[in-house]
């Protein structure tokens, strides 16, 4: 085993030196050299993870940690660069591997498979995207998404699917858990397809961070639910149909659509009700048409992007991922998690309707902290019409909750209060910490750096939405621990 470790280390060192030499001697081949390093080095690490016995994992984890520190220093020193930017991806993956080995040491084989997909599929998809070009008429003007191509996307899906089939081949034919071979192949294809989505929407090397985590999460879930997840066959047509409508209506950008699909898959696998999310998305999208021509912020009236999807639905995804831990530790029960999802989406819907109705019908908008008049649509401003819109959002979510859950009037009142309270929290944060600009003598949420007059840089509307919904969740969890008669 020591010989194998030495062989892996020597191989990686030779690969680092040779690819660096190739990049220096031939600047036009820097991208190629870095992708060769990516494929070779991560494949070697994945293989080493696969063959390491359980009793040697602690020592192996320390080696990975040391490699993570060294690579981080190397990137900081400018050793790895592509297209005049630091290649942080090469430093991300050993940190993720170390954390996964510490978190789930008994799943080292599954972790190794996750990094094998990162090495092979991510590497070859990048090469295909760089050197293969589709005709413009085939891509309808969308040749790239985040600098990545649809050719690379297809190569990623197919290569990841092949790797999964090769790994699980014996189980597919010898122990199929009572499911058909077609269902098995479909399940593995969905893992490959959604992983390609993760790669496509990841930016600046963060695919090396999120991709193995996503693969591992799905493999971990299907291993607990049984190797194959038969309800994929039920939900996938529904998700695909909704996604097609959303794409045609241009309610979401491509990265927003992919993020929404991934979020829906996480929620479904965790056994959390999707309806509150769908209600918010449908009503919120329709409400945005009220002020289609308004430009209260840089994204208003445009298709929702990845960050807007995460800002409004990310906390539900967090509850889905941490559901098992929350239940195991007694922090929340299953019914309390369901109620928390309703509260979060009620707050999100209340805030959205408050903003849209306030901009459309609000006669007087005042700053929430001072009571002074502010332009319509500026974060931190409230109006009577906007407050009524927040209550309407809460009432709509309460009607849904009353129709499908045995909640009493107290719980329904809490749902409405979450909508109004979430809207007010969002306004307070928008007033206190959101970046503000002065443009032509007017206060605005949009502007250039030199025009900023208050708030923190980067604290835009998406960040404020995420923070306000997170506070709604925290308030509910805290109150739940002190009140008798849980939901």
3-state secondary structure of 159: helix
d(CA 264, CA 375): 36
What pLDDT score does 22 carry?
75
CB count in 10 Å sphere of residue 212: 29
pLDDT at 484 over 50: no
180-186 CB contacts, 8 Å cutoff, 24+ apart: 183/228, 183/230, 183/232, 183/233, 184/227, 184/228, 186/232, 186/233, 186/236
What pLDDT score does 396 carry?
96
Pair of tokens at residue 351: 């805030």
Average pLDDT, stretch 476-482? 84
d(CA 38, CA 124): 10
Tokens 């019409």, residue?
Answer: 385
d(CA 19, CA 26): 10
* pTM for the model: 0.84
Q: Are strands 436-439 and 442-444 parallel, antiparallel or unpaired?
A: antiparallel
DSSP 173-209: HH--TT--HHHHHHHHHHHHHHHHHHHHH--TTTHHH
DSSP 243-272: HHHHHHHT-B-HHHHHHHHHHHHHHHHTT-
List C-alpha distances in Å: 233 to 180, 229, 383, 448.
12, 8, 47, 48
Handedness of CA 192, 198, 203, 206 (dihedral sign): negative
What pLDDT score does 216 carry?
93
> Could you read off the pLDDT of 258-279 as tens digits, one per residue?
999 999 888 988 888 889 999 9
Tokens 């001072």, residue?
Answer: 370
What pLDDT score does 24 carry?
66
Closest among 284, 314, 277 to 300, alpha carbons compared: 284
> Could you read off the pLDDT of 341-364 as tens digits, one per residue?
999 999 999 999 998 898 888 778
6-12 CB contacts, 8 Å cutoff, 24+ apart: 8/44, 8/45, 8/47, 8/48, 11/40, 11/44, 12/40, 12/41, 12/44, 12/45
The alpha helices in 252-383, defined as continuous H runs, are: 254-269, 275-287, 306-321, 323-328, 334-361
d(CA 284, CA 356): 9
Residues 6+ apart with CB under 8 A from 145: 200, 201, 254, 255
> Could you read off the pLDDT of 133-190 as tens digits, one per residue?
666 655 554 555 666 788 889 999 999 999 999 988 776 655 545 556 777 788 888 8
């Amino acid at each position: 085993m020591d010989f194998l470790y030495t062989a892996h280390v020597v191989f990686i060192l030779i690969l680092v030196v040779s690819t660096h030499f190739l990049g220096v001697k031939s600047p036009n081949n820097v991208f190629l050299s870095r992708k060769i390093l990516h494929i070779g080095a991560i494949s070697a690490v994945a293989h080493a993870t696969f063959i390491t016995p359980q009793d040697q994992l602690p020592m192996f984890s320390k080696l990975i940690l040391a490699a993570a520190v060294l690579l981080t220093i190397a990137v900081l020193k400018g050793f790895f660069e592509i297209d005049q930017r630091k290649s942080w991806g090469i430093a991300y993956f050993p940190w993720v591997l170390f954390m996964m080995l510490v978190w789930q040491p008994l799943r080292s084989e599954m972790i190794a498979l996750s990094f094998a997909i990162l090495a092979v599929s991510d590497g070859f998809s990048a090469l295909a995207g760089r050197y293969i070009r589709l005709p413009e008429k085939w891509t309808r003007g969308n040749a790239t998404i985040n600098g990545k191509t649809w050719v690379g996307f297809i190569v990623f899906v197919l290569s990841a699917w092949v790797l999964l089939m090769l790994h699980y081949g014996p189980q597919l034919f010898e122990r199929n858990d009572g499911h058909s071979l077609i269902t098995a192949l479909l399940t593995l294809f969905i893992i490959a397809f959604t992983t390609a989505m993760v790669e496509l929407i990841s930016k600046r090397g963060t695919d090396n961070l999120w991709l193995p985590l996503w693969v591992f999460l799905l493999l971990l879930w299907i291993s607990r639910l049984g190797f194959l997840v038969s309800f994929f066959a039920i939900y996938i047509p529904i998700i695909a149909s909704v996604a097609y409508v959303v794409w045609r209506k241009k309610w979401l950008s491509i990265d927003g659509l992919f993020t929404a699909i991934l979020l829906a898959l996480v929620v479904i696998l965790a056994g959390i009700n999707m309806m509150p999310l769908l209600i918010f998305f449908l009503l919120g999208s329709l409400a945005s048409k009220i002020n289609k021509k308004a430009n209260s912020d840089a994204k208003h009236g445009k298709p929702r992007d990845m960050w807007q999807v995460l800002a409004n639905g990310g906390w539900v995804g967090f509850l889905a991922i941490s559901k098992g831990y929350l239940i195991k530790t007694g922090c929340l029960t299953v019914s309390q998690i369901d109620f928390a999802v309703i509260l979060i989406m009620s707050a999100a819907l209340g805030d959205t309707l408050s903003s849209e109705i306030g901009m459309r019908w609000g006669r007087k908008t005042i700053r929430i902290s001072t009571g002074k008049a502010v332009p319509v649509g500026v974060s931190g401003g409230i109006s009577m019409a906007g407050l009524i819109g927040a209550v309407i959002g809460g009432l709509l979510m309460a009607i849904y909750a009353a129709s499908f859950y045995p909640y009493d009037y107290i719980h329904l009142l809490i749902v409405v209060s979450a909508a109004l309270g979430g809207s007010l929290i969002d306004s307070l944060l928008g007033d206190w910490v959101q970046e503000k600009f002065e443009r032509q003598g007017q206060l605005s949420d949009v502007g250039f750096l030199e025009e900023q007059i208050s708030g923190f840089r980067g604290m835009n509307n998406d960040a404020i939405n995420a923070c306000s919904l997170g506070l709604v969740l925290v308030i509910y969890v805290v109150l739940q621990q002190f009140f008798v008669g849980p939901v």
